[in-house]
């Protein structure tokens, strides 16, 4: 999620580091001891993999698989294989079964004993329409460099498109943490059905909207993650409790970076809540060009950034205090956290974030700490949504797989 609402990520891999930068996504810098060649690359031919398990109705069951032969060079040059999968999951809004698409990337070479460990990666905002699923694009709508970095560090990577992105017949409940959490967990099950020798040990990792999805996987794990072993979750500048959007919209104090975020949320809420009158929350340019604003990220039209720049606070002001109160309630229903997490969580956020305000993240962190969660969190002073130094995040994930002790910030600040 970013000011331009593009998910293009420029990557540079050299001198044992990977830098991922863009207009709004934070930089991802691996530590000096991070691997920069395939971890277990070998000239010895690997044993043929067992067949995929296709069929069934349980969460994570595979509906279909399709090799991605034209996947971005970031991934292909590693000798990794990429596959588009469609799998069963669960809607967080009504508990009904859903089909969700995503991507599974398997490293080249021989797996370590116990199978490749898995990272379920949560991508940032790509839009809200059916054609906005990263698995439909060779570059995974900009996520290929980060996926490649995780593969280089010895992980099989599974990346859900999220419900409603990538498949017809459903809708995308933007900001709904329960749906995202279910989709992230079931993406691991889908990966293990695709390659049954994958480890049951996994981590969740995500940035911005994907940070919400990763945190939500931790939040849902105790009651939904049976049969898998979640070792920890890294959430970088995560969306969490966005109820404050309602009050900012009513007061006319939304930042320009928050305009598209609110519009995407309103799009999903209008479907989840049929009683909602969308025009209670949009007027002027927002109402007149609504379909243009809903385009995938990056937009299919050069006019979209100009349209966003032309929006005013009045275009997204609720018509009444009652309408604002309803919006606040709906956003709270989708917020994090909802229950106690049973695995460690890393949260990194910035003091100058104009998309996800510091106070909003700290409200969610306070709730997590009050529930007894094991959270290591870092406030990066002077850094915003797109430039938080996340260089510790991948080593932190590695430490969770290694069983190392977590530095629980909640305990230190009680």
pLDDT digits (tens, 9 = 90+) for 45-56: 667 888 999 999
pLDDT for the residue numbered 12: 27
Average pLDDT over residues 112-120: 97
Q: Which of 194, 196, 187, 173 is nearest to 230 (CA)?
A: 187
Is residue 377 a contact partner of residue 351, using CB atoms and an 8 Å limit? Answer: no
Burial 174-189 (b: 16+ CB within 10 A, else e): bbbbbbbbbbbbbbbb
The Cα–Cα gap between 298 and 5 comes to 7
Summary mean pLDDT of the chain: 90
Distances (CA, A) of 32 to 35, 273, 283: 9, 49, 51
Band of residue 371 on the pLDDT scale cut at 50, 70, 90: very high
Work out the number of other CB atoms within 10 angstroms of the CB of residue 321. 9
Give the distance, in angstroms, between the CA of residue 258 and the centroid of all CA atoms in the same chain: 18
How many Cα atoms sit within 13 Å of 275 on the Cβ side?
4
Q: Can you state the percent helix, strand and coil of the chain, rounding each to 5?
A: 35, 20, 50
Answer whether residue 367 shows pLDDT above 60.
yes
Work out the number of other CB atoms within 10 angstroms of the CB of residue 52. 17
Distances (CA, A) of 355 to 31, 62, 208: 27, 36, 9
Answer whether residue 43 shows pLDDT above 60.
no
- 355: tokens are 């998309």
pLDDT digits (tens, 9 = 90+) for 237-270: 999 999 999 999 999 999 999 999 999 999 999 9
Angle at 98 between CA 96 and CA 101, to 5 degrees: 160
Average pLDDT over residues 267-279: 98
Average pLDDT over residues 64-93: 97
For 35, counting Cβ atoms within 10 Å of its Cβ (0-12 exposed, 13-18 middle, 19+ buried), the class is: middle
């Amino acid at each position: 999620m970013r000011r331009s609402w593009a998910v293009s990520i420029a990557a540079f891999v050299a001198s044992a580091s990977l830098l991922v930068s863009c207009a709004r996504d934070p930089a991802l810098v691996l530590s000096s001891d991070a691997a920069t060649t395939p971890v277990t690359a070998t000239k010895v031919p690997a044993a043929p993999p067992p067949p995929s398990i296709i069929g069934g109705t349980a969460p994570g069951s595979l509906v279909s698989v399709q090799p991605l032969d034209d996947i971005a060079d970031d991934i292909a040059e590693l000798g990794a294989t990429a596959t588009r999968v469609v799998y069963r999951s669960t809607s967080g809004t009504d508990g009904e079964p859903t089909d969700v698409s995503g991507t599974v990337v398997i490293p080249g070479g021989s797996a370590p004993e116990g199978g490749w460990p898995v990272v379920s990666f949560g991508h940032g905002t790509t839009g809200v329409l059916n054609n906005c699923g990263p698995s439909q694009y060779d570059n995974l709508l900009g996520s290929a460099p980060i996926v490649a970095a995780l593969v280089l560090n010895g992980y099989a990577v599974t990346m859900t498109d999220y419900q409603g992105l990538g498949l017809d017949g459903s809708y995308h409940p933007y900001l709904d943490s329960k749906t995202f959490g279910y989709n992230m967990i079931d993406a691991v099950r889908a990966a293990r059905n695709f390659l049954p020798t994958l480890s049951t040990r996994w981590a969740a990792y995500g940035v911005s909207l994907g940070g919400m999805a990763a945190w939500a996987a931790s939040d849902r794990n105790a009651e939904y993650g049976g049969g898998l072993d979640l070792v920890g979750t890294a959430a970088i500048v995560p969306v969490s409790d966005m109820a404050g959007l309602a009050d900012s919209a009513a007061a006319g104090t939304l930042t320009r970076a928050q305009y598209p975020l609110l519009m995407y949320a309103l799009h999903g809420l209008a479907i989840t809540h049929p009683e909602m009158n969308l025009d209670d929350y949009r007027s002027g340019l927002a109402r007149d060009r609504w379909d243009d604003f809903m385009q995938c990220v990056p937009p299919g039209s050069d006019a979209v950034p100009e349209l966003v720049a032309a929006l005013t606070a009045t275009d997204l002001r609720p018509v009444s205090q009652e309408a604002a109160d309803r919006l606040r309630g709906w956003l709270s229903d989708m917020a994090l956290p909802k229950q106690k997490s049973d695995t460690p969580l890393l949260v990194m956020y910035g003091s100058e974030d104009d998309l996800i305000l510091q106070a909003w993240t700290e409200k969610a962190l306070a709730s997590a700490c009050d529930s007894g969660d094991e959270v290591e969190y870092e406030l990066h002073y002077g850094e915003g949504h797109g430039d938080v130094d996340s260089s510790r995040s991948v080593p932190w994930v590695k430490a969770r797989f290694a069983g190392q002790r977590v530095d629980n910030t909640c305990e230190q600040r009680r």
